[in-house]
Amino acid sequence: MPRKGENIYKRKDGRWEGRYIRDRINGKAKYGYVFARSYKEVKIKLTDAKTRLASNTSAVPVIASELLICSFSRASDEWIQANKSQWKESSTAKYINILNNHLLPEFGQRNITNIARTDIQSYISKLLTSSGRNNAGLAPKTVNSIISVMKNIFEFTAETKQCTLISFNGLNVKQPQKQMRILSQAEQSLLTEYLLKESSNTGIGIFLSLYTGLRVGEVCALKWEDISFRDNCIHVHKTMQRIQVKSNSDHKSEIIISAPKSAYSVRDVPIKLLLMLQERQNAPNTYFLTGKTTLYVEPRTMQNRFKSMIKKTGIAPANFHALRHTFATRCIELGFDIKSLSEILGHASVNITLNRYVHPSMELKQKNMNMLSDFISRQINRQI
């Protein structure tokens, strides 16, 4: 709700927005906008904007002429330059990749003020039906990521240039609920038996993910100095990933090792597999999977080796991330406290753990139905 008597609102993103009339065309008001993190700050900005407008009749034409040469390409570049110091390297690479592969070829030379909602709607339809490999269309999740970048650029431009641009409310794609693959207890037993006989560090790395929930990038970045045999825990504070780079060389991507995806992912994971690990222990500054200081196993290689292993054991296809889902599900079946599990997994809230990573297995469903069956039998017996 606005403050009484003022065109000042608190937005859903937590910022304050102030609105003022900067021009009238054919009797219709054209509004300017200011934004700030507090009510007091936005009120000051709003007063300043009104003062400038009153003392400078050319204020509106200046804004208009500036926007006339503001192509989407220029706006996206300004957005990148203003924010990249706050982003992780992988995030910057992701946004630039989305711009170069999707948004700039479609909208790059267009005036950002002339891009309408209908243009975005048509573009979404194109992405879903005829873009991507073999022009077969992109997944809804990918399309939403593309539109999210575009939305951020529009909001940034509207704020910095104090202009009105289209709203992106409702401009997204409904994503179907994807059923995540988890290993059954029988499959987990088969894989565990195979991994215990496996002598490679890769096998132990897979075993570690299965019984701690570590992500593939976290396992690949793990060093022996991160494993504390005194405190019986693993300190997770790095992740490894391959990102696309814009380079004049033949290399289109590179491996980076950085902080995990969020502050919550930096965590200590208790572990009781110490005897198995102590037998393989190497120098503190060496990688867990190789025992070398400069040689590592990258996530893509780890995923391929995992797929090869489950194929050898006769387990149905699954990706590496299924290990993390399996770990979370087994923990729930064993009665883990959900808050503890959430912190072990490195989630920001227990809702993420419950909604994304906990999937009742058929065994658990059968167990619960058996409990219900026993209850029904007791109720019937009381009536006899």
pLDDT digits (tens, 9 = 90+) for 111-139: 998 899 999 999 999 999 988 878 888 99
3-state class (DSSP) for residue 223: strand
**Contact indicator for 76, 92 with CB cutoff of 8 Å:** no
Q: What is the pLDDT of residue 67?
A: 40
Distance from C-alpha of 365 to C-alpha of 138, rounded to nearest angstrom: 34
Q: What angle do CA 56, 110, 175 make, to 5 degrees?
A: 115
Q: If we measure between CA atoms, which residue out of 157, 137, 149, 41 comes closest to residue 103?
A: 149
Q: Which domains does the chain have, with CATH numbers?
A: 8-68 (no CATH), 82-160 (no CATH), 188-317 (1.10.443.10)
Q: What is the pLDDT of residue 21?
A: 78
Q: What is the pLDDT of residue 20?
A: 78
Phi, psi (deg, nearest 5) at residue 161: -100, 0
Q: If we measure between CA atoms, which residue out of 156, 73, 77 comes closest to residue 108?
A: 73
Q: In this structure, what DSSP letter does residue 113 have? A: G
Q: What is the pLDDT of residue 66?
A: 42
Q: What is the pLDDT of residue 319?
A: 94
**Contact indicator for 357, 324 with CB cutoff of 8 Å:** yes
Q: What is the pLDDT of residue 26?
A: 64
Q: If we measure between CA atoms, which residue out of 115, 204, 126 comes closest to residue 157?
A: 115
Q: What is the pLDDT of residue 61?
A: 40
Q: What is the pLDDT of residue 216?
A: 96
Please list the ranges in the chain whose pLDDT falls under 50.
4, 57-68
